[in-house]
Structure 1
Amino acid sequence: MPEACFLCLDSSEYMRDGDQFPNRLMAEQEAANLLVNAKIQRNAENVVGFLTTGGSACTVYETLTLDVDRVMASLSKVTIRGPKCHFAKGLLIASLALTHRTNPRAEKRIVAFVGSPVQETPKDLETLAKKLRKEDVAVDIVSFGVEENVPLLESFVQKVSRNDNSRLLSVPKDANLTDVLMGSTIFHDEEIFSPERGGGASVGFGVDPNVDPELAMALRLSLEEEEQRQAANATRPTTAPVETDISNMSEEEMLRRALALSMEDAPSAQPHDPLVAPNAPTKENEEGDADPKKE
């Protein structure tokens, strides 16, 4: 069954912490890269998009696409922004984007990385869980760095889960985020998942090469490419992506904006800056006939 998956990446100030090497943000980017690669290669019809939950508001970087290179390029642009994580709003925007997937048969799934204290109350999370469950959206959560989040997120996953389609992965203190993710059912299909923890990184990143040699090799190459990319980025200054100021928007306006963005159909386009303004000129306007008013 094809899957439409939207990732929510934590990009708050807490992601500077060095308990993951070299810090939480870069460890999260590496894990997200490998997860995106695995999902796209698992099924030719799978699509992936992602947003970040730090800053004054959530930022959509990529709408649903099957272009893994485009997603990986955008992942490398993610920067730390803002003091807190907008967990609930991020999941609502991701859910809205998933409703506009081009393949109605694709199962809807959100994978949320959480490395900051959850600001929402248990009541807020219960309301969110009921909404997502009603819309038949599965939710996987990767929790790391903040042990106090675990009880809240466990309760949330239990409420949102339908037929055990949602999971919580709590990364133990001092454990490597990528290694733990690769040894989990969030990363693997059930038929290739190995319950043996700790050996995943040494034998095809947790994938049995005898079962799926192509996936094992692709994951290994992906990790090597990401390490090279991060090393190159570390040697030159980076600029933060352009983010439209939506701090004064209501939640309804923000969701409506995300809806408009999610309906963009550009899977073959080049990587772009996040949150393009609705009235921004399109490629057709730039490359086609001139505006009659200007003639």
Structure 2
Amino acid sequence: MVLEATMIVVDNSEASRNGDYLPNRFSAQSEAVSLVFNAKTSSNPESAVGLMSMAGTGPTVLTTPTTNFGTLLSGLHDTKIKGHVRLGTAISVAMLALKHRANKSQRQRIVVLICSELDQKFGDKNDTDKELIKLAKKCKKNNVSVDFVAFGDALESNTKSILERFIEAVGGSSGEGNHLAVIPPGPGLLSDSLITTPIVSVSGDVGQGSSGMEGVETGGAGGAGGFEFGVDPSADPELAMALRMSMEEEQNRLERERRAREEQERQNADRMETITEEGQGQQSANGEGQDGDASKQPRVEEDKQD
């Protein structure tokens, strides 16, 4: 199981108000944040997930990596929708947040949810193709994996191609791959399509190539073969999610039973040790008492001499 510290970067720009993804783009991201958090922490309970926004007055760290989902929800609740995205700056800030993670043994990963078009008249100097490629190489040097979930206006050819080149540049330096999930509008939720991608796949082997770009593009009815439960999650995402939740609940139940069994065995061992010690103490006391009584009784030879 991979031990990771993940920073999820949400797009809180004006474009996130659009309702082409149910119920709107920002709310769709909230569902995706929940899915990514559950996937990361289910894979390894010691993994941590943080949250930040990349629009408004500037990229803002809402929550440093944590295992408390309530903290992430609080961060989402406090997020204001305004302004335009600053993708390059946001990734740089996320890298800095991961650098100061509490557990240095955690691998570093950034998951960017982007629904805005990268346009120089709206963005900043760090959002040019040249600067983003330079940033991708910096991520590779520092062993930071990057995943993009592109939807909405990010599906525009120019933005999509920039993200593809970023993924190619960052490569697979961390050993876990880097992925671009392209999700067009569809009748289902954003999270329903996202569950079919390696970004939230527990096994991490769904359509993963050298840079994690093969077989990741999906749609509202797209599919990913070889799902662990033998069910196509794109055809029936609710069943796939229910099966996964059922598996996790069963694992948790077995873990609780194992712990209870170990605790019971430990208590039984302590009880047997206590009984043994009491028995030895009683035998010792009885032995001393018998020796004392014997010393008080006259010996036969002494009686005859008298």
Identify if the C-alpha distance between structure 1 residues 215 and 15 changes in structure 2 by more than 3 Å, giving closer, same or farther: farther
Identify if the C-alpha distance between structure 1 residues 168 and 72 changes in structure 2 by more than 3 Å, giving closer, same or farther: same
The reply on whether 1:180 has 2:193 as its aligned counterpart is yes
Percentage identity across aligned positions? 31
SS of residue paired to 2:235: coil
Aligned to 2:27: 26
The CA deviation at 1:46 is 0.5
Identify if the C-alpha distance between structure 1 residues 69 and 215 changes in structure 2 by more than 3 Å, giving closer, same or farther: farther
Identify if the C-alpha distance between structure 1 residues 70 and 204 changes in structure 2 by more than 3 Å, giving closer, same or farther: same
Is contact 2:31–2:190 with CA below 8 Å preserved after alignment? no
Aligned letter for 1:99? K
Is contact 2:110–2:145 with CA below 8 Å preserved after alignment? yes
Aligned letter for 2:177? N
Aligned to 2:36: 35
The reply on whether 1:140 has 2:153 as its aligned counterpart is no
CA distance in 1 between counterparts of 2:109 and 2:242 reads 22
The CA deviation at 1:173 is 3.1
Aligned letter for 1:159? A
The reply on whether 1:214 has 2:249 as its aligned counterpart is yes
> Would you identify which runs of 4 or more consecutive aligned residues in structure 1 move more than 4 Å?
191-194, 206-210
Q: TM-score normalized by structure 1? A: 0.67
Is contact 2:198–2:205 with CA below 8 Å preserved after alignment? no
Identify if the C-alpha distance between structure 1 residues 192 and 216 changes in structure 2 by more than 3 Å, giving closer, same or farther: farther
- How many residues of Structure 1 are paired with residues of Structure 2 in the alignment? 215
The reply on whether 1:201 has 2:202 as its aligned counterpart is no
Q: For structure 1, list consecutive stretches of 5 or more residues without a partner in the other structure.
A: 218-295
SS of residue paired to 2:55: coil
CA distance in 1 between counterparts of 2:180 and 2:28 reads 18
The CA deviation at 1:209 is 6.0
Aligned to 2:171: 161
Higher helix share: 2
Aligned to 2:128: 121
Identify if the C-alpha distance between structure 1 residues 200 and 121 changes in structure 2 by more than 3 Å, giving closer, same or farther: farther
Is contact 2:195–2:233 with CA below 8 Å preserved after alignment? no
Aligned to 2:123: none
Is contact 1:51–1:62 with CA below 8 Å preserved after alignment? yes
Considering Cα pairs closer than 8 Å and 6+ residues apart, tell me whether 1 or 2 has the greater RCO.
1
Identify if the C-alpha distance between structure 1 residues 208 and 57 changes in structure 2 by more than 3 Å, giving closer, same or farther: closer
The reply on whether 1:99 has 2:96 as its aligned counterpart is no
Aligned letter for 1:154? E
The CA deviation at 1:72 is 2.1
Is contact 1:203–1:209 with CA below 8 Å preserved after alignment? no
Aligned to 1:189: 202
Aligned letter for 1:16? R
